[in-house]
Amino acid sequence: MKAILTDVTRCIGCEECVEACRRVNGLGEERPYRWIRTEDRLSADRFTTIVRKDGYFIRKQCRHCLEPACASACPVGALHKTPEGPVVYDSEKCLGCRYCMMACAFGIPRYSWYSPVPYVRKCTMCYETRIRKGLQPACTEACPVQATIFGERDELLKEAHKRIAENPNKYMPKVFGETEVGGTLVLYLAPISLDVLSLGLPVGDDPLPLRTLPAMMAVPPAFIGMGVLMGGLYWVIERRNRLRSEQSDAKDDKISDTDSDQKEGKE
């Protein structure tokens, strides 16, 4: 699968990638804060940004997870993972529930809040415009110092581990994105921890879709089980009542059965 490797130590923060992204994706002028409402400046009009931490420049963009939570969460499958790797969005299907935005562990999808016909917006790795034509994404092409490069994920991982081995003092001994939430296509080499890229509490290496899977697997058995249980209870109680009324008819008994019923109903 196609992937991107960003070496934080090489980035000079020139934001050429941001400009290239804006050009290729035809993004509009950035809106004033009122409409962006985030600190990292990612927005419906900006798919990639440079986050500053400890004097380093960290390029933030969609991580294109191997097991994307957004695609798993979308009720209509408006987000899906392409065979080439990028996670893309189909605005024709979207109904605007914003569950994808809640599900993303990196807080990447953004919404065009200012529009009466709003859509979810995020980096698509230039899937339609470039990857399908065999080109690399605009951001990696624009980078003047090759701080962010494009390639096959396996090869980039190999390259990343090679760089760590050559300069063990320069980097943290791990490739960010290799294992987080099941692995992402956008990989980072950094001298500092990149927790700044994730949102909220740490989530570990398990893919997020696995968290809802057990509950979803339980749906069909729960549905049928509840039906059988309720149907069975109805039948049993109905039959018992009928037998009892026949009995009482026969014996002309005056025993009322409401008390015993009441106790059972509370379960």
The residues in 217-246 that bind another protein, with binding defined as CB under 8 A, are 218-219, 222-223, 226-227, 230-231, 233-234, 237-238, 241
* Ordered DSSP codes for 115-166: -SS--EE---TTTTTTGGGTPPPHHHHH-TT-SEEEEEHHHHHHHHHHHHHH
- 114 scored as a contact of another protein (CB under 8 A): yes
Q: How many residues bind another protein (CB under 8 A)?
A: 81
- Sheet containing 186-189: order of strands: 148-152, 2-7, 186-189
Q: How far is the CB of 188 from another protein (least distance, A)?
A: 16
152: β partners: 2
262 makes contact with another protein (CB under 8 A):
yes
Q: Which range binds another protein by CB under 8 A, 50-58, 127-135, 151-159, 164-172?
A: 50-58
Q: Considering the rule CB under 8 A, would residue 82 count as an interface residue with another protein?
A: no
Q: Mark the segment that binds another protein (CB under 8 A) among 88-96, 128-136, 153-161, 245-253.
A: 88-96
Nearer to another protein, 74 or 156 (CB): 74
Q: What is the DSSP letter of 43?
A: B
- Give yes or no for a contact between 153 and 3, defined as CB atoms under 8 angstroms apart: yes
Exactly one of 1, 7, 83, 99 binds another protein (CB under 8 A); that residue is: 99
The Cα 150–Cα 135 span in angstroms is 10
Q: What is the 3-state secondary structure (H, E, C) of 200-213?
A: CCCCCCCCCHHHHH
Q: Quick one: 97 or 172, whose CB is closer to another protein?
A: 97
